[in-house]
Structures are given as C-alpha cells and as structure tokens.
Structure 1
C-alpha cells in the first residue's frame, strides 16, 4: 500500500531540487479566483484564510514596487456558459453568475484603483479573455501567481502562461487547495514542467529591491 505521507515528503524534496527557470524583468502579479465562491465555501479550511493574508502582503509589496496587479475572476452570464463537465456535475461555479454576491473578490485582497480585472469562464485565465493583450500592453515577461485552487484554475493558468513562454513564479504560501493532496501534487507538477514554485519571503525581498 502506498504511504502517501512519504510520497508527499518525496515530491517536496524533488521540488526543492528542481532547476529553476528564473524571474523576468517586467513581472505582473496574477490573482486567480480569490472570490467568495472559492475561498468562503463550506469545504474551506484554515489554509484559505492563510493564503489570503499572505497574498494581501504580496499585493501591498507589488503595488509599492509599481508591479501591475491583475485579478482573474470567474463570471458567467449564464450557467449554460460553463464547460460540459461543470454543467453535469455539482460545481462551485454554480455561484458564479454575474451579479451573484459569491462572485465578489474577498475583502482581504480587495481590488484597488489601478489594478486590472479580467473576467473568464473556464479554469485558465487565457481562454477567450483579454489577458494576452493586457500582458502584451504591460510588457510583461513574468507572471507571479497567487490564488485558488492550486490544482484547478491556478494550474490551468500556469500551464497556459508557460505555453506562451512567459516566466512563471507560483508563490507557495499564496495558493490554496481544499483538496490537499491535489494541491501538493500540482505544486510538484508545476515546478517540474511549467514554473518556479517560490517562497513568499524571497518574493517580498525581491519586490522590495
């Protein structure tokens, strides 16, 4: 029988050892789906609140450094706009119709003047959105990623950013997944294939510099 505790310990070791891609010169911070529907639902544990507080610190530092902040939010004009799997199965996206209070960004990481908001209808922030054009306009060569869930919308957005040859830095303390094992595996998968998984401390020091 598989010892999952040992497996998690091993992938954390592998993640720490993996060669890094490195940061860019013109980063932007992507905040993925930190909406009430995804951070205040019945299955959330204390890790969601911790990730939100950590992200608030990240955003304060980014704004102080003049680094653009971009929020990705799930907004549906109709629940029929969802992909097939979410229409068939129960999903938190049922709370994401335009005008539903559940779609609001958590007050812990509230949008501020000068920030950018990009609406999306699926997990990735790049599918049929204005994110590509916005990043090009900003001259972005790296995205610093926070958000939820690590194995869902964060991972999908990270993959699509990597496919565009953007440098990607996932801040470990600023992402959350109520599916704990899925989150751990996804951090390793992203570090192995698509991105750098970095600490909040090193990111704050980098932005301060």
Structure 2
C-alpha cells in the first residue's frame, strides 16, 4: 500500500506517518503460540512485527509496548480471566519470565519490565524510542498513561500490531478512534485476524497496511493538502 491509494487521501482519517507511533499489544512470552495459555498464531506474526518495530526505530518514531501484568489471584484482570487466575495459574505474572516481551521486539539491551513502575501507572523507558505501558483491561487507554504519553510525544497517528485482534488490539483501536487519533493496523503483524474484522475496522476509518510497506511510508515527505476541520 502506498499513499497514492484512495483511502489514504481522506484528509480526516489518512495516517500522518511523520507524526505516528507504533503501539504493540501484549507481545509477551506467555501469550506466544507455544505457551500453555498462549494465543494461536502469535508466534507466527513475530517476523513481520520485528520488521515493523525496526522500521519505526529507523525512522526515529516512538514505539509503545502495551503489556499485561496479572497480579496473583487476578484482582487486576478482566472478570473473564479471574476464575483461571484465582485457581493458581500464573500468566504474565509481575517479574516472571513469561511477562517479558517476546524476543526481538524491544531494543537490544533493553531493561526487563519493571512491574512496580508499570503497575503504578507510569511508563517505562526501554530505549531511545521505546516505552512500555501497563494496561489493566482490554483497551490500552483505560486507566493508563498512554494518551498523556502520546500527546507529550506529539503523536496524532497510531499504528497497531500485536496479539489477538478480536480482544485487546480491537478495543484499543476503538478507544484510539474515540480520541481522534488517526489509526492504521499492520494486518500481517497482528494475530487472530479475520476478513470480517478487517472489513469492520476499515469501516470506522482504520487503514490496513503491510509490514513491508512501512519503511517507505515512514520515510515519505509530509504531503501538503487541505486539512480536515
């Protein structure tokens, strides 16, 4: 996909890649395909996701890794998860290996996730362009610092990728749209994709792109044109 495609010319929804940030959702060891409670298809999207994060860093654009940290007993989890977590199952437990980002997603030499910092509602810096943010529910904006962080970074466009489109990425995309962010989805870098879901997201102004197109999109000069009011 290139910016010459008709959908990208809508001045009210067209992504501004020069002022964009990448949002990765729940790309953690315990959610990979092979994990006991993992999400099928998530390990398989890692190559495209690694290309995606690399393209954003190469362009000097922010990358925000939104993560889950389920406390013992599941008190900070969605209701549908609490019965499982109350049974003693540990998934993305704070400080555990399973809570850490998947290999190759954060910068080389990045610190481990800091559960105390993240659970307090503050972002964690993982590298020159990378940050982590904890979310307690499906959507990345619910009771989090994400919107404040993005506004501080001067971002008006969000590009989403990560784990399990029907749940957390979809909820986060809707929340982003409600906050008037321009939104794109890297469809080959998100798991559990269906044609119907992509059609529905396109219907609310989400632009669908491929990982291999990002490098060109992120380095294109800003296009002059009439603004949306």
TM-score by length of 1: 0.80
Aligned to 2:65, the other structure's residue is in SS state: strand
The answer to whether 1:206 aligns with 2:198 is no
Q: Which runs of 5+ in 2 are unaligned?
A: 111-126, 221-229
Q: Secondary structure at the match of 2:93?
A: coil
SS at match of 1:116: strand
Match of 1:86 in 2: 81
Choose the corresponding residue for 1:106, options 89, 102, 107: 102
User: Gaps (5+ residues) in structure 1?
Assistant: 1-16
Structure 1 residue 150 displacement after superposition: 0.8
| 1:1-209 → structure 2 map (5 Å cutoff) | 19-20=7-8, 21-24=13-16, 25-39=18-32, 40-42=34-36, 44-45=39-40, 47-78=41-72, 79-88=74-83, 94-111=90-107, 112=110, 113-114=127-128, 115-177=130-192, 183-209=194-220
**Range moving further from structure 2, 36-45 or 79-88:** 36-45
The 1:208–1:19 alpha-carbon spacing in structure 2 relative to 1, beyond 3 Å, is closer
SS at match of 1:107: coil
CA RMSD of aligned residues (A): 2.4
Shift of 1:99: 1.9
Give me the whole-angstrom Cα distance separating, in 2, the residues matched to 1:101 and 1:168.
31
**Higher helix fraction (1 or 2):** 1
Rounded to whole Å, the distance in 1 between the matches of 2:166 and 2:96 is 25
Distance in 1, matches of 2:207 and 2:145, equals 24
C-alpha displacement at 1:89, in angstroms?
5.9
Deviation of 1:90 after TM superposition, in Å, equals 7.5
The answer to whether the 8 Å contact 2:39/2:164 transfers is: no
TM-score, normalising length: structure 2: 0.73
Q: Provide the aligned length of Structure 1 versus Structure 2.
A: 187
Distance 2:53 2:84 in 1: 34
SS at match of 1:108: coil
Tell whether the 8 Å contact from 1:71 to 1:116 is kept in structure 2 after alignment: yes
Contact 2:187 2:210 in 1 (8 A): yes
Alpha-carbon distance in 2 for matches of 1:63, 1:186: 28
- Paired with 2:30 and 2:202, the residues of 1 have a C-alpha distance of 27
